[in-house]
Amino acid sequence: MQYLDRKTILGTLLKSEVVEVPEWGGHVVIKELSAADALVLGNMEFESTVYQLATYLIHSLYDDKDNKLFSMDDLEALTHCSFNVLNRLSDIVLRLSNLSRLPGESKAEEDEAGN
């Protein structure tokens, strides 16, 4: 039996997936939400679903060198991207993060959406 130590646990990488985004002409790395991000984002109130999707992608999209692609300064610009792309990529974030819905989204909202 192997016991874990602090360094091993804290050095564990978040799950990630390289995803092709043909609408944007290339690939991105999508990472699962960290516990801290999920907690913060779960307590945020969003102006609309599009702002919510864009915010989650800001916290989850990386380049091939492990640099975040966007910051909160890019929120408004991201809301002008294709809803289908934002929704598709957000679904991957949810899957990687083992979430059935976005943190902060109520069960009633999920039921209304038919999930």
Answer yes or no: is pLDDT of 115 > 50.
no
Per DSSP, the chain holds a count of helices (H) and strands (E) of 6, 3
Residue 107's pLDDT is 46
Give one DSSP letter per residue of 48-96, joined into a string: SHHHHHHHHHHTTEE-TTS-BS--GGGHHHHTTS-HHHHHHHHHHHHHH
pTM for this entry: 0.80
| CATH 3.30.2220.20 given to domain 13-112 | yes
The 10s digit of each residue's pLDDT in 13-64 is 899 999 999 999 999 999 999 999 988 888 889 889 999 999 999 999 999 9
The 10s digit of each residue's pLDDT in 57-88 is 999 999 999 999 999 999 999 999 999 999 99
The domain locations on the chain are 13-112
